[in-house]
A and B are shown apart, each in its own frame.
Chain A
């Protein structure tokens, strides 16, 4: 069954619950979140957040790829990590002062579920059971981002770093 504009019917509940982010949530939580979710198709090169600016929406990426970039003087925008389907972009919408920690840009056509920050926070304030299910999942996503960033920081394949420290036997 297709809708009049011949796009597949969008069912936010099933989209959300089959994503990595949604698999960690209770069915009740998924349907509450789905009630405020909006599906958005995002063209490549579109910015979802900008470093230092207020983040309006929390996005759950369903398909496509988003790059998290940060501006380095003389090097331009450097991609630190990419966000892959199932993961979230814009967690800063949940945490004061709601300013983005990196600039996120779609580098492929992206389909995402958008949760408006104001609405979401209001929803969570009024529903502690939902909050108790939602926040740990957000924290898990943020922690994974942190771990990934730390590993990136180690620059594990950089041989120059090693050879500076010691004289190599070969």
Chain B
């Protein structure tokens, strides 16, 4: 029962090439030949699965909740039990019948097995100056999920698009997914927090299963959804379902749909929500929200994750483990310079707008399947259905989605590089020149970054500050243990690298234009390869102007080169500092001070800007005043980039993943999220 004319998370766009039999897992083909399995024979199904060497994951009672766990036999099923759910409320109740699936969904979803936490990713080790990263082989268990609901099937479909839809993929997930058999159960009981009907995902399982059961008083109507499902049915004591059984099953599911109704009208929801960045409702919700992350932990689609290091005591080896993370945690959006979403209201806004708006831009579906877990398991009972109604009234025009740009590195795989030279730029900033690199690494472009890894430390995204003939430079400020360890490396030391990643500065767009480069502090580092590239083909560009601000004269990077560029005569180099010392007779003041009285023509210029965000905002205002259009101003953004390829979720900024879609953006691509607090 797909409702015409509105997006549906389950609506078949499984272009991700998931499980081996995924293409065949369509209910429609098998619909004509439903089977009937008597209640007494349900145990046979479990036995057959066990015979196949599968671990059966199905519903059972643990800690006063019906959750997925390993089933030994049919006796483990919650026979005769239902559940009572409401915002912030869950109780198991006696049904007074023999139904095995007479409940809705509990706090645990198949995500626990398909996208487990923790998951060992690699083991890093250090031997003298050498480093090594060994991948942990994934050997996924052979699973059979029993009792998977339509909303959960839709959630798997969403994970397929996120984790396997490319350009990068999660191979561990793929292996687990391909190794799992899915036996769905159509819902015949409605929960008070369910809204699958609104999200277009249930209560009827339509595809993505091998078998689907609908429970009647005396047994189960069985639909086949895949060749594997057909093989299974052939080994079960089933008979053809009669018309009455088939229609009772259909009626039971239809009753549930009717009971749930349409609590979240989704027409125009994407646009309605994105028009409400400044709604006072966010602050109102934040008065109740505890930022506890329960909603994201129980969510079957939330995929944000982080890599932690389990380090041996000697510091020589460490295991990288992937664990679930949440956009509600305090550290989720934190970078060395601060926290982009320090307030609970910003985190709630991030979560809600992602689920119901920007997820659509990223993955062509909502990130919510309407299972209602986030409502039931919210300790203060925040009801997402009510909040959506309160926050998102009239329609606003939809911004153009930004296309993901190509990047060039496989996830999880590292190359090593060796430090060839070290140059101390300032008191706390060091440039490492790294060589012994694979050729593809050297083929990067100005503005791209690399994930840099030393065993026992978190991986860090570091801009490439120069491409040499067979080396790259990284200019790093020692701001914490990991950066201190990196800046402490000496010639001959190795380090792990992935990349170059991210979108580069669009140099080709600057040809036959004037180029304006405005930067501050360590922001000059990602611009240096751009300057190198401009000067390498100097006659293809008109005027080149560099405006560079630093805190003090001693904080200027690349001082020799700045002098050299200024001495060339074909490039304007203007420097300013915030704090002068006795030796400084140049300008004092913010970097815009260097060009706010100049007379050059902005409409002939392209601007490249990098620095603290507040500096970039002031710069952009001044560039606008000089006549530069937003599609000619490029900024590079700093966010909490962790995976570097758009799969971990940390660096989200509205509909964008900064690591994958950026870090270089045209202002026109950022629209009104540039400079907005809490995004």
Contacts and interface: CB of A to CB of B under 8 A. Distances in A.
25 contacts: A79-B579, A81-B588, A81-B589, A81-B593, A82-B576, A82-B589, A82-B593, A85-B597, A148-B590, A152-B589, A154-B614, A156-B520, A156-B614, A156-B615, A157-B550, A159-B477, A162-B338, A165-B338, A168-B480, A169-B331, A170-B336, A170-B457, A170-B458, A170-B481, A170-B483
Interface in B1-40: none
B569 to A, nearest CB: 20
Contact of A168 (B479, B520, B588, B615): B479
A65 B575 CA distance: 14
A39 B42 CA distance: 102
A67 interface: yes
B585 A168 contact: no
B579 to A, nearest CB: 8
Interface in B580-606: 580, 585-590, 592-593, 596-597
Interface residues of B, number: 40
Contacts of B331: 169
B551 A155 contact: yes
A152 B585 CA distance: 18
B479 A65 contact: no
A65 B597 CA distance: 14
B218 interface: no
A107 interface: yes
B479 A151 contact: no
A2 interface: no
B514 interface: no
A157 B551 contact: yes
Contacts of A144: 596
A51 interface: no
A163 B140 CA distance: 42
Contacts of A165: 338
Q: Which 9 A-B pairs have the closest CB atoms?
A: A157-B551, A170-B480, A20-B597, A151-B590, A170-B482, A157-B521, A86-B597, A81-B589, A156-B612
A15 interface: no
Interface residues on A, range: 20 to 34
Contacts, number: 91
A87 B555 CA distance: 27
A95 interface: no
A170 B592 CA distance: 31
A156 B611 contact: yes
B618 interface: yes
A84 B590 CA distance: 13
Nearest to B477: A159
A162 to B, nearest CB: 5
B97 interface: no
Contacts of A155: 551, 578
A170 B576 CA distance: 29
Contacts of B460: 170
B593 A84 contact: yes
A65 B585 contact: yes
A80 interface: yes
B587 A84 contact: yes
B480 A169 contact: yes
B291 interface: no
Max chain B C-beta neighbours (<10 A), residue from A67, A144, A156: A156
Contacts of B614: 151, 154, 156
Contact of B555 (A65, A108, A157, A162): A157
